[in-house]
Amino acid sequence: MRKAIIGGTGVYGIDENPRKETVSTPYGSVDIDIVTFKEEEIIFLARHGKKHSVPPHLINYRANMKALEILGVKWIYATAAVGSCNEDFAPGDLVIIKDFLDFTKNRPVTFFEGGEEPVCHVDMTSPYCPMLRDKFITFSKQEQISIKGEGVYVCTEGPRFESHQEIRMYKNLGGDVVGMTNIPEVIFAKELGMCYATIGMISNWCTGMQQDPIALHDIETALGNNKELLSHAFMTIFEQSLDQDQCTCNASLVSL
Residue pLDDT, tens place only, 91-134: 989 999 999 999 999 999 999 887 777 788 999 999 999 999 99
| 143 pLDDT higher than 90 | no
pTM exceeds cut of 0.85: yes
Instruction: Return the axis-axis angle of helices 130-142 and 227-237, rounded to nearest 10°.
Output: 110
Which pLDDT score is estimated for 14? 57
Spatial contact of 5 and 14, defined as CB atoms under 8 Å apart: yes
Residue 255's beta-bridge partner residues? 120
pLDDT confidence tier of residue 79, bands split at 50, 70 and 90: very high
180 labelled binding-site residue: yes
User: May I ask the CATH class of domain 2-255?
Assistant: alpha beta
Question: Distance between CA atoms of 191 and 31, rounded to whole angstroms?
Answer: 22
Q: What percent of the chain has pLDDT over 90?
A: 65
Which pLDDT score is estimated for 223? 60
Which pLDDT score is estimated for 228? 77
pLDDT confidence tier of residue 225, bands split at 50, 70 and 90: low
Which pLDDT score is estimated for 254? 83
List pLDDT tens digits, range 164-194. 999 999 999 999 999 999 999 999 999 999 9
104 labelled binding-site residue: no
| N-to-C CA span, the chain | 29
9 labelled binding-site residue: yes
| 159 pLDDT higher than 60 | yes
**Mean pLDDT across the chain, nearest whole number?**
89
Q: DSSP label at 56?
A: G
Which pLDDT score is estimated for 17? 72
Which pLDDT score is estimated for 10? 44
| 13 pLDDT higher than 60 | no
Nearest to 226 by CA among 125, 86, 127, 81: 81
Q: What is the mean pLDDT of residues 57-79?
A: 96
| 69 pLDDT higher than 70 | yes
Which pLDDT score is estimated for 129? 97
181 labelled binding-site residue: yes
Which pLDDT score is estimated for 240? 87
Question: Distance between CA atoms of 40 and 82, rounded to whole angstroms?
Answer: 30
| 8 pLDDT higher than 70 | no
Which pLDDT score is estimated for 126? 95
19 labelled binding-site residue: no
Under the phi-then-psi rule, with left for phi > 0, alpha for psi from -120 to 50, and beta for the rest, what region is 149? left
pLDDT confidence tier of residue 21, bands split at 50, 70 and 90: very high
| 205 pLDDT higher than 90 | yes
Question: Distance between CA atoms of 98 and 120, rounded to whole angstroms?
Answer: 23
Nearest to 21 by CA among 31, 36, 13: 31
Question: Distance between CA atoms of 73 and 29, rounded to whole angstroms?
Answer: 17
